Amino acid sequence: MKLVVQKQDINKVMQTSQNIVEKKSTMPILQNALLDAKGDTLIVSSSDMEITLISKVKATVLEEGSTTVNAKVFSDIIKELPEEDVLLELGDGEILSITSAKASLKILCISSESFPSFPTNEIEAKYKIQASVLLGMFNSTSFAVSNDETRWSLNGVCLKRIKQESSESEDFINAVATDGHRLAIATREIDIPCLKDEVIIPKKGVFELKKILEELGDEEILFDITDSLIVVETKNQKIGIRLIDAKYPDYTYAIPHGDSVKIELNTNVIINSLRRMSLMNSEKDKKMIFHFENNCLVMTSNNPGIGEAKDEIEVNYQDEPLDLGFNPKYLLDLVSNIGDETIIFEVYGKLKPMKIYSKNDESSIAYLMPMRVISN
């Protein structure tokens, strides 16, 4: 194997690939990335058995061939090379020579024959969707994914086919995530023929997929969903993510009903205030008090070991005085993902979840459980 590739191209691919590889695997080969030079392309593959990423890099291939190289070591080497073309040449003893300008390094590789084959390679993604649509659904929900490994089914984002009562169309998909304290739902009218009912995409897979989608804007991507995998393919990358084999819990029971009060807030104002107030939040209690009265929201935060904080915001509230307690970090996560100038807090009472959404777009909604407030 012998080829020349631009440093910036291979560096970008390796930065992504090393995030995929298994750091502490019982299979040492999974710490490596597969390099396969053919035609005018270098194909880089990496996997941790749960996520498989295949990337293509334009190259001048002088001699076709393949090998596997420690992903982190190779990535670190490429990163520190001069901003020149990189010559990769595989020699006897599976030694890879890396040359750029006057810099030359050698790294011991493992034969590509030892690298396992993965189902992702065999699946041809054939359904189309805009990258920005899928990214928007993940951005509106992924922050609410549970980190509790004992609740396996909540460790990812669920994509679920639904029926909207207000529409004759059956092509609605919900992206859902919850950790028991907050619930995020993004609903889009899109056709995903390969989604029969629901699938759960694990958290790591969602975040790696987001990195790819963020660079594509409104470009169309190809995807497919099987019984065990979701596969997304772009012009130069293909990622396969093993789905969580579980049934997503019924999240609709957490959606409040009944009388409510809608409170409008300026999104940037509440975000900045929450950031300030969080500085004085107690790690033990993790609660901030929100007092609504006479078109004013008064927020108070207290940390016995540091101090206290108070902030006031003008709001449109004229009902009875109301005290609510929320975890400010959770609330900040929710409002930070509202891409609108005005945000709505819809309150159903002291003990029911508060509904949060954009004034001009209810396609993405979040619910946050309040914390008990003890009245003086």
Is 22 in contact with 30 (CB distance < 8 Å)? yes
Same domain, 113 and 138: no
| 54 inside domain | yes
| 143 inside domain | yes
| 373 inside domain | no
Same domain, 232 and 136: yes
Q: Which structure tokens are listed for 276?
A: 């300030």
Same domain, 107 and 160: no
Same domain, 223 and 208: yes
Same domain, 305 and 235: no
pLDDT at 306: 80
Number of domains forming the structure of the chain:
3
Pairwise CA distance, residues 305 & 47, whole Å = 46
Alpha-helix residue ranges (DSSP H) falling in the chain:
7-20, 71-80, 131-139, 203-213, 267-278, 328-336
| 60 inside domain | yes
pLDDT at 193: 84
CATH classification at residue 30: 3.10.150.10
Distance from CA of residue 48 to its chain's centroid?
17
pLDDT at 94: 94
pLDDT at 371: 85
pLDDT at 344: 94
Same domain, 312 and 234: no
| 296 inside domain | yes
Same domain, 174 and 104: no
pLDDT at 165: 62
| 48 inside domain | yes
Same domain, 140 and 97: no
pLDDT at 118: 87
Residue range of the domain that includes 190 = 124-252
Distance from CA of residue 131 to its chain's centroid?
13
List the chain pLDDT tens, one digit each, 376 residues. Answer: 999 999 999 999 999 999 898 777 678 899 999 999 999 999 999 999 899 999 999 999 999 999 999 999 999 999 999 999 999 999 999 999 999 999 999 999 999 999 988 888 888 888 999 999 999 999 999 999 999 988 899 999 999 988 766 555 567 899 999 999 999 999 998 888 888 889 999 999 999 999 999 999 899 999 999 989 999 999 999 999 999 999 999 999 889 999 999 999 999 999 999 998 888 776 666 788 999 999 999 999 887 778 888 999 999 898 899 999 998 889 999 999 887 899 999 999 888 999 999 998 889 999 999 987 766 5
Same domain, 298 and 352: yes
Same domain, 94 and 150: no
- Of the residues 209, 236, 252, the one at which a domain ends: 252
| 376 inside domain | no
- Of the residues 93, 117, 141, the one at which a domain ends: 117
| 374 inside domain | no
- Of the residues 252, 279, 311, the one at which a domain ends: 252
Same domain, 73 and 149: no
